[in-house]
Structure 1
Amino acid sequence: MDNSVNIKNDPYASLRFPEFNHYLVIRFAIVFALTMQFAIVEWRVYELARDPFSLGLIGLAEVIPAVLLAPFAGHMVDKLEKRGVLLKCVIAYLGIGTGLFLLTWDVTTQHLSKTTVLALIYALVFCGGIIRSFTSPATFTLLSLLVPRTLYANASTWSSSAWQIGAVIGPALGGLCIHWFGVHWSILLVVVVFLAPLISLLQIKPKPIYYKSQGESFVESITKGMRFVWQTKVVLGALALDMFAVLFGGAVAMLPAFATDVLHTDALGYGLLRAAPAVGALVTMFILAHRPLVHKPGIKLLAAVFGFGLCIIVFGLSKSFLLSMLVLLLSGSLDGVSVIIRQTILQLKTPDDMRGRVASVSSMFVGSSNELGAFESGFMARAIGLVPSVVFGGCVTLGVVITTYVISPAMRKLDLKP
């Protein structure tokens, strides 16, 4: 690799590496397919159950295996060739998409009760959680093998942008396709999209393995990532801050209920609301690719999460479709700042031989908090009502930011220089 590429003068530096461009296709296509699939599944589950708590159970079904298997998955990803692991994950996702396609087909479900169909959908979501426990560390680790270290921040920005583009198009197209073609044929498109990362992975050469056992036992190896995160306070602070923000600010998980019962819109409106946060994040990330966050990034991270909490409160109180769209857009823009800073911290601070295990811990903190947040939102919506549950979550997010500012000097003094 050419280490002379100057990130300060070339915001497109990472894109000069052909394999990294294939990686961006993989990153985009996987999140596009998964977010579209998730949006369609949410709509179908609420259509069958008519209960906000059923939406929370979708998140719970995915988070249980994702969290329980994360340490083992990170250990295995560090030991195995990363491209091969990711290839197997994509093939497995193709299988799950096919299963959901069959479960939304009247021909195959005409003799099944709604309860049985819901149980089978939850079972496939559970299997998706198993796959995700391997996908997240494999994707994170593969990035560091495609560009030089001096470009990690730049590559993280473009990688996050590809993720956000997929997150924009996925749920929006999911809502549109439900509106145009129905749930069943919309799932078929998800299956087709999963072929793109499969093809792109074949364009990337197998990568070296940096794993060093150093006489460690299996238990010591799988817990090494946890110890590293605990001892590296700036990493711990960034992950914990984002985890609690996502956990209690999980308004997006309740969007089918808000779209139907509060804002009184249809599948098209639901798709637009679902896409709004990702649109905001995408705009932010393209800006940050040209203007990196190098001046007081810790303070900016805290401010962004605080603003995110305020947006969730306004969304919960809003009765206007337009206002709800705008605050979700802004919440995504602020969340984009958080994602860029967190990913850059992890890439710069993590040793090469334990990237998979640290990425698994990150997935436990942040990725799984999306699903736990969905369950928490569904539980609180049933306990105290839909609107109060979202407002409560936003208020807790503000409290977490204030607490982090007070107790974490490492976060306030954060420096992201390579």
Structure 2
Amino acid sequence: MKRDLNLIAAGLAISTAGDAAALVALLLRLQPHGSGWVAGLLAAELIPYVVLAPLTGRVVDRFETRSVLLVALAGQAVLCLPLALVSALWATVLLFAGITALSAFVRPATSALVPAITGADAAQKGYARLATGTGLGWIAGPAAGGLLTGAFGATAAILADAVTFTLLTAACAAIRTRRHPAPHDPEGATARGGLRLILADRVLRTALLGSAIAVSAGVVDNVAAPFRFVGQLGAGDSGYGLYLTLWGIGALLAAQVVSRVPLGDAALIALGNLLIGAGIAGIGLAPTLVLAFVASLVGGFGNGVTNVAQNALISTRTPPDRHGRAFAAAGALIQTAIGVGTAAASPLVTALEADGAMLTAGLITGVVALIALILSRSTA
């Protein structure tokens, strides 16, 4: 139903903006206390997705999906209140980890609900609609977080995030579509975990493992980009912010056109990663700031293609009653890749400087994506 999809997309746009604003506020709150606390916050953003994946997937598949969403989103709104008010650094990190843990239920639940709303044949368009909402949120959120924190302090930005969680909860409460668990499982098939589902399917295995390796290399961009834009290209803080915005705009544009590209989802994932690699390498090579900004658009466009196609591929290659497990496992795989790549980024930037690190990361991402693209054609 178009109405239900629009409700989720609008709610995600608002909530994603709130999440991005709150993350900026928390980073600004912790930064004066040292890089260790910042690293702890970023770890709290990643680890729950990996550790809780077996549980979150089973919960999404075992209970009515909209109900899971409502409980998790309401819990996030509630946790934002003490997070906004506490001053202890350990409590800030712990509460943020709790919000992320609940998000680990929200993401697979939302992804699993889309095919139930659109039907299997139109799932890709449904994921593109949700990517539009998320993309708008990520474009607006960081700027809003900086402005709110600068004008009113971190507390205001985090309280605003609580409001956005409440609005998304209300949007999900208005959804009419229901995704119920399978009534019975005579062969015990639903006991199979999400990672086993992915690895057992040759197309999924090739696409998602290739994507994880590409992400692990490409995430070096997150660490190297500030040094590249500010230190080497002389962009200043505003120029670095424009790079982030352009990347988000590229992803937003991709969500509008990806369903019109005459390729299968596995090939689209590889093509998207290839464009990400080209964008990152292009930023590393760019002799001028303008060309670096163009490369940012290319990389963001590839990011958007990959995100939509990956969700669509998982939904079509796994049984509907096990979508929760499959999406949770895929999310854990990508988050693990992000963690590995982030850990490797700092020594790589130190050894090669920002431009060399981005060029290397982009080339590795592109080579892995090209191999995955070739394999996708042979496994299709």
Are 1:95 and 2:60 counterparts? no
Residue of 301, 323, 334 corresponding to 1:366: 334
Deviations, residues 91-137 of structure 1 (Å, cap 9, x unaligned): 2222343344224xxxxx4xxxxxx52x4433233223321221111
2:377 aligned partner? 412
**Equivalent residue, structure 1, for 2:162:** 191
Q: 181-190 vs 232-241, which deviates more?
A: 181-190
Tell me the TM-score normalised to structure 1 length: 0.78
* Cα drift, residue 56 of structure 1: 4.9
1:71 aligns with 2:54: yes
TM-score for both structures, normalised by structure 2: 0.85
Per-residue displacement from partner, 1:167-189 (whole Å, max 9, x unpaired)?
Answer: 22222333444455554433332
Query: Which amino acid counterpart does residue 280 of structure 2 have in structure 1?
Result: I
Task: Count residues with an aligned counterpart.
Answer: 379
Q: 1:297 to 1:194 in 2, by over 3 A?
A: closer
Matched, 1:346 2:314: yes
Secondary structure in structure 2 of the residue aligned to 1:145: helix
SS at match of 1:146: helix
Indicate the residue corresponding to 1:278 in structure 2.
Answer: 248
Q: Is the 8 A contact 2:11 2:171 kept in 1?
A: yes
Partner of 1:229: 198
Q: Distance in 2 between matches of 1:372 and 1:124?
A: 24
Query: Against the structure 1 CA distance between its residues 228 and 214, is the aligned structure 2 distance closer, same or farther, given a 3 Å change threshold?
Result: same
Q: What one-letter code is carried by the residue in structure 1 that aligns with 2:217?
A: F
1:246 corresponds to 2:208: no
Q: After alignment, is 317-326 or 336-345 more displaced? A: 317-326
Q: Deviations over 1:290-333 (max 9, x none)?
A: xx222465545433322311321333456855444332222111
- Name the counterpart of 1:132: 103
Does the aligned pair in 2 maintain the 1:297–1:414 contact within 8 Å? no
Deviation at 1:69, TM superposition (A): 1.0
Q: Could you tell me how far 1:380 is from its partner in structure 2?
A: 4.4
The one-letter code of the counterpart of 1:69 is L
Provide the identity percentage.
21
Q: Which portions of structure 1, spanning 4 or more consecutive aligned residues, are displaced by more than 6 angstroms?
A: none
SS of 2:118's partner is coil
Q: In the alignment, is residue 17 of structure 1 matched against residue 2 of structure 2?
A: yes
Answer whether contact 1:82 1:206 (CA < 8 A) is retained: no
Q: Distance in 1 between matches of 2:22 and 2:230?
A: 19
**Greater helix proportion:** 2
Give the aligned partner of residue 161 of structure 1. Answer: 132
What amino acid sits opposite 1:247 in the alignment?
S
Task: List gaps (5 residues or longer) in structure 1.
Answer: 1-15, 104-108, 110-115
1:204 is aligned to 175
Shift in alpha-carbon separation, 1:42–1:145, aligned structure 2, 3 A: same
Q: Distance in 2 between matches of 1:187 and 1:260?
A: 28
- Name the residue aligned to 2:277: 309
Matching of residue 31 in structure 1 with residue 16 in structure 2: yes
8 Å CA contact retained: 2:66, 2:179: no
Q: Mean Cα displacement is larger for which, 391-400 or 326-335?
A: 391-400
Matched, 1:332 2:300: yes
Aligned to 2:93: 122
Q: Does the Cα contact within 8 Å between 1:73 and 1:134 map onto a contact in 2?
A: yes
> Quick check: 57-66 or 295-304, which moved more?
295-304
- 8 Å Cα contact 1:277/1:333 also seen in 2: yes
CA drift of 1:86 comes to 0.9
Shift in alpha-carbon separation, 1:243–1:413, aligned structure 2, 3 A = same
C-alpha spacing 1:30/1:234, structure 2 compared with 1 (3 Å): farther
CA RMSD of aligned residues (A): 3.1
Distance 1:255 1:67 in 2: 26
Contact 2:211 2:269 in 1 (8 A): no
Residue type of the partner of 1:61? A
Unaligned runs of 5+ in 2: none
- 2: distance between equivalents of 1:77 and 1:278? 29
